[in-house]
Amino acid sequence: MKSFELYEPTTVQEAVGILTKFGNRAKVLAGGSDLVAGVMKDWVEGEGMPLPDALVDLTTIPQLRGIRISPQGATIGALTTLTEIIESKDLKERFPLLTQATHSIASPLIRNYATLGGNLNQRPRCWFLRGREFNCYKKGGDSCFSVTGDNRYHAIIGGELCYIVHPSDTATALLALDARAKLAGPAGERTVPFDNYFISPREDVLRENILKPDEILLEVFIPAPSPGTRQAWTKLKNREVYEFAVVSVAVAFTTENDTWKDGRIVLGGVAPVPYRAAVVENQLKGKNIKNSIKQAAGVIRTVARPMSMNAYKVELTQNLLERTILEALA
Ligand SMILES: Cc1cc2nc3c(=O)[nH]c(=O)nc-3n(C[C@H](O)[C@H](O)[C@H](O)COP(=O)(O)OP(=O)(O)OC[C@H]3O[C@@H](n4cnc5c(N)ncnc54)[C@H](O)[C@@H]3O)c2cc1C
Ligand code: SF4
């Protein structure tokens, strides 16, 4: 592994100051399960993705940890571990969707030290990106190896230049729960809804979110759901542990006499960003869910553009949509 300087700030201001000084050459460190044990250990680098010279350890900033519940919703510090999220009775009661999604991640050992901030900001798992010998667009190169290579787990929706699927399960759940992120940088703090947090390769192929190099994710806020909100989560993976989503579905919606009133449907494992399936939501609005679910789920086909080896994901997505929404209704 390349050597680096390690900084251990105790305040957010101190951390932002160090990031500002180093610019692109520094990265923040949380649990390290992706940055150190993945990206840096495996020398995942390129012109557009330099390995850092300095790591700014956030685990030494107590302010970034913990779960706070209020009548308005829940605030979760970015350094809160995935296990702490799963074990929170308050979160389980109000946002079972987040608890289930978090529980589906990796393994108990990894969840004990991996953090929410790290999970949301982890780099994609495309096997070409993670291979040293492939200098693709995302590393600053001039091609995408997934177009002609093995693309069985790549995007079926919204790929352009790059066909990664967003790896974070908490991101899929938080987008369905209409959550927002609070960030800190040299100019102060700003709040960004997760609707606008993730960016597609079309906007910037070198990044997956709007965080600037000198910004830190401080916390996540989830608004209290309207009374009677139904939530459900399904994740299809190849084996029970250590597996990312082949396809996942997160739903949170309200009903009146089994008619869809309002809500969100979000897909994971299918697009470069957690994908809000507004096309399906629109088909359900004001309709009896049981009567219209088959047709509504089928509309996902109109936005799907599968690659040479992953058309199977379209079928899976359609079926999983139907199953998850009916589960929430039941
Ligand atoms: C075998 C294995 C299986 C996995 N399976 C899944 C899975 O099924 N689903 C899933 O969602 N994930 C999965 N993961 C990914 C894992 O959940 C992430 O590696 C982990 O959540 C990252 O958290 P961390 O605290 O260790 O982050 P780190 O590795 O420390 O950081 C990850 C990235 O986030 C940035 N970062 C961290 N915190 C902040 C912050 N507060 N502000 C700004 N940037 C920040 C870092 O700079 C870095 O770029 C798996 C990982 C492994 C190794
Ligand atoms: S899908 Fe993206 S990350 Fe993977 S090879 Fe293509 S450009 Fe690189």
Please tell me the predicted confidence (pLDDT) of residue 15. Answer: 98
Task: Spell out the domain ranges in the chain.
Answer: 230-329
User: How many Cβ atoms sit within 10 Å of the Cβ of residue 305?
Assistant: 12
Residue to mutate, 127, 133, 137, ligand 2, most ligand atoms under 8 Å from C-beta: 137
7 neighbors 25 (Cβ within 8 angstroms)? no
Q: What angle, rounded to 10 degrees, do the helices at 312-329 and 289-298 form? A: 160
Nearest CA to ligand 1 atom 27: 118
Residue 61 CA: which ligand is closest?
Answer: 1
Please tell me the predicted confidence (pLDDT) of residue 240. Answer: 74
Q: Which residues pair with 69 in a beta bridge?
A: 74
Nearest CA to ligand 2 atom 4: 126
Show Cβ contacts of residue 330 under 8 Å, excluding neighbours closer than 6 positions.
none
Residue 115 CA: which ligand is closest?
Answer: 1
Dist CA 314 CA 212 (whole Å):
34
Please tell me the predicted confidence (pLDDT) of residue 2. Answer: 87
Please tell me the predicted confidence (pLDDT) of residue 23. Answer: 87
What is the number of residues in the chain?
330
Please tell me the predicted confidence (pLDDT) of residue 239. Answer: 80
Dist CA 313 CA 330 (whole Å):
25
| Atom in ligand 2 nearest the alpha carbon of residue 129 | 3
214 neighbors 222 (Cβ within 8 angstroms)? no
Please tell me the predicted confidence (pLDDT) of residue 122. Answer: 98
Torsion on CA atoms 87, 92, 98, 100, rounded to nearest 10: 80
Please tell me the predicted confidence (pLDDT) of residue 238. Answer: 87
Please tell me the predicted confidence (pLDDT) of residue 171. Answer: 98
Predicted TM-score (pTM) of the model is 0.97
Residue to mutate, 24, 25, 110, 116, ligand 1, most ligand atoms under 8 Å from C-beta: 110
Q: Which residues pair with 57 in a beta bridge?
A: 29
SS3 29: strand
The answer to whether the CB of 144 is under 6 A from ligand 2 is: yes
Please tell me the predicted confidence (pLDDT) of residue 1. Answer: 85
In eight-state DSSP terms, residue 300 is G
Residue 40 CA: which ligand is closest?
Answer: 1
Please tell me the predicted confidence (pLDDT) of residue 273. Answer: 98
The answer to whether the CB of 31 is under 6 A from ligand 1 is: yes
Query: Per the structure block, which two tokens stand in for 319?
Result: 């079926």
Cβ-in-10-Å burial (0-12, 13-18, 19+) of 72 comes to exposed
The answer to whether the CB of 197 is under 6 A from ligand 1 is: no
The answer to whether the CB of 289 is under 6 A from ligand 2 is: no
If you write DSSP's letter for every residue of 302-329 in order, what string do you get?
A: GT----TT-THHHHHHHHHHHHHHHHHH
Residue to mutate, 163, 273, 307, 308, ligand 2, most ligand atoms under 8 Å from C-beta: 163
Task: Give mean pLDDT in consecutive 10-residue pieces for the chain, a chain of 330 residues.
Answer: 94 97 94 96 91 97 97 98 98 98 96 98 97 95 97 96 98 98 97 98 96 97 96 92 92 96 98 98 97 98 98 98 97
Q: What would the CATH number be for the domain defined by 230-329?
A: 3.30.390.50
SS3 268: strand
Residue to mutate, 42, 126, 147, 206, ligand 2, most ligand atoms under 8 Å from C-beta: 126
